[in-house]
Amino acid sequence: MRILLTGGTGYIGSHTAIALIDAGHEVTLFDNFSNSKPAVLDRLREITGVTMDFYEADVTDAAALDRVLNERAFDGAIHFAAPKAVGESIARPLHYYKNGVAGTVALLQAMERHDVRNVVYSSSATVYGMSDDLPLQEDAPTEVINPYGRTKLMCEEILADLHQSDPRWNVIALRYFNPVGAHPSGLIGEDPQGVPANLMPFLAQVAVGRRPSLHIFGDDYPTPDGTGVRDYIHVLDLAEGHVAAVEHLQQSPGFDVINLGTGNGVSVLELVAAFEQVAGVPIPTEVVGRRPGDGPASWADASKAARILGWTATRDLDEMVADVWRWQSHNPDGYPD
């Protein structure tokens, strides 16, 4: 198959490109570099030996989408391209609705014009809000509490309406839990711009001395050690979940929403301890107040992915941490400009 990866040079897109190539597929990456760097393409070539087919363009740009879809015959698309920071989405909602929602509509319209109707969508466990009905199953009630979460839920609903209107559309919306880790080569990984909003990249930057200490947002949650518990999933497992999803769409068309998680919860303190052990460096921490919008605990019921896609996460916490550490210690300042 040839798959279009919007947001293909981003963190999850780049790892998914490798997994698709490893599975014998061809990829075209499409990205405007708003949150990634061209150096990713060199690293991908180094890892795979393949020069990736790449378009630098914006997913809201209908003419650019038409150009790509005219020039290649695609079997489907995986739509990663979107901004993803909760705090920024509260400050700049229109940026999120334009890129996250209007960008999705523009992509789907272009796909329709070119008769490509298989799409895997990057959704998020954030659509479950602060639900404490654990483990979270796909039919749990959704609750969105910020513009970022709303863009994810709106796009799921747009895709459901589209499938309803025309069953030739085949859709899987994947609800990711907390992607961490990096390719074991240490050549690609997560490289957030500015202050990382997520725990693992922040932790990794403290470990290499880029930041003085890790702020722990609350140690008085009703969890075993008082800190927040999340379902961390290795980005390579996540990438393989996308391969399973696009392959599934070819054999069993339809519409589905599927969690990608491990089903295990890990606390902030457990993650810090694992990191200290693997990296062999102390991580200074400082407990600060709870962050608005953070719930105490969240982990997936991952059984639907196993049942429908034949996929389960296989990599454990030590592997996640070791791969992040290899990436961050080899690239303390992230990708070169």
Ligand X SMILES: NC(=O)c1ccc[n+]([C@@H]2O[C@H](COP(=O)([O-])OP(=O)(O)OC[C@H]3O[C@@H](n4cnc5c(N)ncnc54)[C@H](O)[C@@H]3O)[C@@H](O)[C@H]2O)c1
Q: Which residues are catalytic?
A: 148
- Sort strands 2-6 and 232-234 into parallel, antiparallel or unpaired: unpaired
Residue with tokens 């500015």: 194
Which CB, 61 or 112, lies closer to ligand X? 61
Q: How far is the CB of 16 from ligand X (least distance, A)?
A: 9
Among positions 5, 18, 27, 81, the unique one binding ligand X when judged by CB under 6 A: 81
For residue 101, state whether it binds ligand X (rule: CB under 6 A): no
Among positions 28, 89, 104, 122, the unique one binding ligand X when judged by CB under 6 A: 122
Which CB, 33 or 252, lies closer to ligand X? 33
Q: Which residue is nearest to ligand X (CB)?
A: 10
For residue 99, state whether it binds ligand X (rule: CB under 6 A): yes
For residue 149, state whether it binds ligand X (rule: CB under 6 A): no
The answer to whether the CB of 239 falls within 8 A of the CB of 179 is no
For residue 12, state whether it binds ligand X (rule: CB under 6 A): yes
Which CB, 7 or 265, lies closer to ligand X? 7
Which CB, 103 or 296, lies closer to ligand X? 103
Give the number of residues in contact with ligand X, rule: CB under 6 A: 27
Residue with tokens 């329709």: 112
Which CB, 155 or 214, lies closer to ligand X? 155
For residue 32, state whether it binds ligand X (rule: CB under 6 A): yes
Among positions 35, 118, 170, 264, the unique one binding ligand X when judged by CB under 6 A: 35
Among positions 21, 54, 60, 182, the unique one binding ligand X when judged by CB under 6 A: 60
For residue 271, state whether it binds ligand X (rule: CB under 6 A): no
Q: How far is the CB of 332 from ligand X (least distance, A)?
A: 18
Burial tier of 164 (Cβ tally within 10 Å: 0-12, 13-18, 19+): exposed
Calpha distance 151→143 (Å, rounded): 12
38 to 31, 52, 179, 180, 261: CA distances (angstroms): 10, 12, 22, 21, 29
Q: List, in order, residues 6 or more apart from 9 with CB less than 8 Å away.
A: 29, 31, 33, 36, 37, 38, 40, 41, 54
The answer to whether the CB of 177 falls within 8 A of the CB of 259 is yes
The answer to whether the CB of 317 falls within 8 A of the CB of 271 is yes
Among positions 2, 34, 92, 154, the unique one binding ligand X when judged by CB under 6 A: 34
Neighbours of 24 (CB within 10 A): 8
Which CB, 13 or 263, lies closer to ligand X? 13
Give the relative orientation of helices 62-71 and 103-113 as an angle to the nearest 10 degrees.
40
Among positions 83, 129, 201, 334, the unique one binding ligand X when judged by CB under 6 A: 83
Among positions 4, 28, 36, 86, the unique one binding ligand X when judged by CB under 6 A: 36
For residue 299, state whether it binds ligand X (rule: CB under 6 A): no
For residue 201, state whether it binds ligand X (rule: CB under 6 A): no
Q: How far is the CB of 31 from ligand X (least distance, A)?
A: 4
Among 203, 267, 204, residue whose Cα is nearest residue 230: 267
For residue 10, state whether it binds ligand X (rule: CB under 6 A): yes
For residue 146, state whether it binds ligand X (rule: CB under 6 A): no
Calpha distance 278→281 (Å, rounded): 8
Q: In this structure, what token pair is assigned to residue 28?
A: 């075209």
Residue-wise over 56-66: b if at least 16 C-beta within 10 A, else e?
ebbbbeeebbe
Q: Kindly list the residues in this chain that would bind ligand X in the complex (CB under 6 A).
A: 7, 9-13, 31-36, 58-60, 80-84, 99, 103, 122, 124, 176, 179, 198
